[in-house]
Structure formats: C-alpha cells, structure tokens
Amino acid sequence: MNDESFISIQNLSKRFGPVKAVDDVSINIRRGEFFSLLGPSGCGKTTLMRIIAGFEEASSGDVFIDGQPMGYTPPHKRPVNMVFQNYAIFPHLTVQQNIAYGLRKDKLPKDQMTRMVEEALEMIKLPGYGSRGAHQLSGGQRQRIALARALIKKPKVLLLDEPLGALDKKLREQMQLELRELQKSVGITFIFVTHDQEEAMTMSDRIAVMSEGQVLEVGAPPQLYHHPRTHFVADFLGSMNFFDGKIRDISNDMAHVDTEHLGMILVKKGDLPVSQGDKVVVALRPEHISVSNQKAEGETNTVGGQIANAAFLGDRSHIYVSVNGGSNTVMALMQNVEGTVSEFGGQKSDVWLNWSYEAGILLPMVEQ
C-alpha cells in the first residue's frame, strides 16, 4: 500500500433502515494528509468518520488503513484516535490526568508517563498546566487538551468531528491555524469533519464534498473553489451567481452562451463536454465581477443595470445589481477602500458589470 492510498475507503455504504446515510463512497487518503469531509448536516460525513473509527459497522464495502482491512477490527484495536465536538474532558480530573488517561492500560512507569504528558503540553503550547483542574480551562484550552490526549497515543490517524464548533469566531479562526500547524509538526494523517466551508478551505490539503451520502468531488481547496464540476459544490463553497443558458456556438475553447438574464456572454468552455444547442449553467463568482460607471471595451463581458441594494461588511461590500430590467439581481463583491460604494451614487444608480470570459464556469444543467 503506497502513501497515496494510506487510507483506502472502498465502495462503502451504510443503511439505517430505508435511509442510505453513506452511499457507495470510495476515497483514497494520503499518508500525512490533512483531509476534510465537508457538507451540510445530514450528508453522511460523521457516519463515514464513525465507520472509519469502528463505532459504526458498514452495510457494505471496507476501510483499509496502511494496507490492513478494518472491517472486523474493533475500535480499540484500530490505529486511530478521535477528538469529539464536546471534547469529552473529564471535569473531576486534572489536565495531566486527562491527557494520560489513554496511557493507563499501557502500565508505563510513572516518570515516563509524566515526561510524555509534559511533552504533550509543550506540543499544544500549554506548558505548566498539568496540575490545573479541567474545570479551570477555557474552551480553547480544553480543545487543546483533547488533542493532546488523542495524540499522546501516537495513532496513525486522528479523526476530528467538528472540534471547533463550540468556539467563538475569533478563537475558532486562531485554532484553525494552530491545528494546521500542529498537524504539520506531528505528521499524522488528520481526517476532519466540518460543515464550515471556510474552515475546511483554511486547513485542508484536500476536501471531499458530500451531499446525501455521496462524495460529489474531491480536490484541493483552490481546485474546488475555482474549478467546481457540479452545481452543488459551486454553490456550497463561497458565494456564486448562477445563470441558465444555451450554447449558441463554440470557437477556440470559447463558448457563446445565450442567457436569460445577461443576454449573450462569452465563457471559457473548460472541460465540460458540451455542443452547440446544449443547455448549461454559467456560474460566476461575485469577486470576479467589477462594478463601474463605464462600459468595458473589447472582449470583456459587460452588462448594464441598476444598484438594487448594497451590504456593508467592513472590509468588503456586496453590491446587488438588477440587470436588463429584470427582478433577479447579480451579486458583485467589492473590497472597501474609502467611499468605494458611495461613489456610484447609492441605490437605483446606473452601473456597468464587467468580467473576463475566463471568470465564468460552465456547469451541466441541473435536472429538475
């Protein structure tokens, strides 16, 4: 088994009565990779993680870790450890006792256990905290203790089930960076479950996006964000404008697409196998659209409209523009530099939307 398939999930399915929580999932995860399972609540990501951990039995398929099948291996004999969303810290024990809890069955000498706990505290940047009571810890500190307790056993794989969900926004962003740094330093394969797209993109080497028990796409964060292959992934990662259209002609890897709301626009064909007359969806990121008082010249796509609304978000603003007299709006994102939004004169002001033909993404039409 090579490093490219250090963890191999093969045709895995799990049924709960008539419900298929995991539906024929196959993924290869690399040794030392930070791999995230991303998707909305109920998509099957936690069930998939629990099957890897051995807490759930698969209905069909198998999981291999470092070449060994895990189907009949009980949880305590698998080379994995798990960090739960609620951390499962024992409030009546000290920090040292919590971290050393998993070492009790190993019957190690007391001085060796103490040394291992001290090294773990250094690793999570909490030296000297061993004698503190668990009830004295903040949320971020308890998260670190849970990590140390899981890592002190030196598992081949660490499973993390939304461990940052209970933290406030600022602390969660700080812990994302610390967790990624920790994973790099220990070199252990991390499998991280989250519904938070920004969290997954910040930390992951690769992401598997799940919906209704299936893995729709697997890729590095930039690949999934800039070049999604499905409507769901394009919509789930970040903000996106979608426009139904029909291909009028294709020339030199460029497609002329007739859309209901934007009129005729130019889009890079990409890898989607399409022909003249095919119905498609054009996806366009708000940050790739510029709002201007002037119409762009040349091959750049341009459409006129009126500002319908604007949302000030501090460092940026979302500008909603009604185009071609329609009720649907196009969202553009603008970084806020002094007076950026006000320079257009506010609501109902006439503006032009401009974007490159390379900014649009062709997607297959979603079947209703």
User: Domain containing 46 — which CATH number?
Assistant: 3.40.50.300
Count of domains for the chain: 2
**Boundary (domain end) residue, out of 235, 270, 296:** 235
Judge if 129 and 163 occupy the same domain.
Answer: yes
Q: According to the model, what pLDDT value does residue 345 have?
A: 56
DSSP 293: S
Residues 59 and 206 grouped into a single domain: yes
Residues 6+ apart with CB under 8 A from 190: 33, 34, 35, 157, 158, 160, 183
Q: Identify whether residues 10 and 123 lie together within a single domain.
A: yes
Among positive and negative, which fits the CA dihedral 143, 32, 182, 221? negative
Summarize pLDDT for 216-240 with one digit per residue, the tens. 999 999 999 999 999 999 999 999 9
172 and 33 in a common domain: yes
Q: Do both 265 and 329 map to the same domain?
A: yes
**Of all helices (H) and strands (E), which one includes residue 171?**
helix 169-186
174 in the same domain as 253: no
Question: For residue 327, what are the contacts with CB-CB under 8 A and spacing of at least 6?
Answer: none
Predicted pLDDT of residue 347: 63
Looking at the structure, tell me whether residues 199 and 257 fall in a common domain. no
Of 235, 251, 273, which residue is a domain's last? 235
**What pLDDT does residue 338 have?**
61
Domain's final residue, options 219, 235, 251:
235
User: Quick one: CA torsion of 178, 180, 182, 187, rounded to 10 degrees?
Assistant: 180
Here the CATH number for the domain that contains residue 301 is: 2.40.50.100
Q: Are residues 149 and 7 in the same domain?
A: yes
Q: Are residues 299 and 155 in the same domain?
A: no
Q: Which helix (H) or strand (E) holds 322?
A: strand 316-323
pLDDT confidence of residue 109? 82
Are both 148 and 244 inside the same structural domain? no
| Ranges of the chain with pLDDT below 70 | 1-2, 87, 166, 299, 325-326, 337-347, 367-368
Q: What is the pLDDT of residue 367?
A: 60
Please report which helix (H) or strand (E) contains residue 200, including its range.
helix 197-203
Res 53: pLDDT: 95
Q: Are 219 and 250 in a shared domain?
A: no
pLDDT at 239: 92
Encode pLDDT of 297-345 as tens digits: 776 799 999 998 888 788 788 889 999 766 779 999 988 766 555 556 5
* Residue entry with tokens 């461990």: 163
pTM (2 decimals)?
Answer: 0.89
Q: What is the pLDDT of residue 42?
A: 92
Its domain, for residue 315, covers 239-364
Whether residue 38 is found in the same domain as residue 103: yes
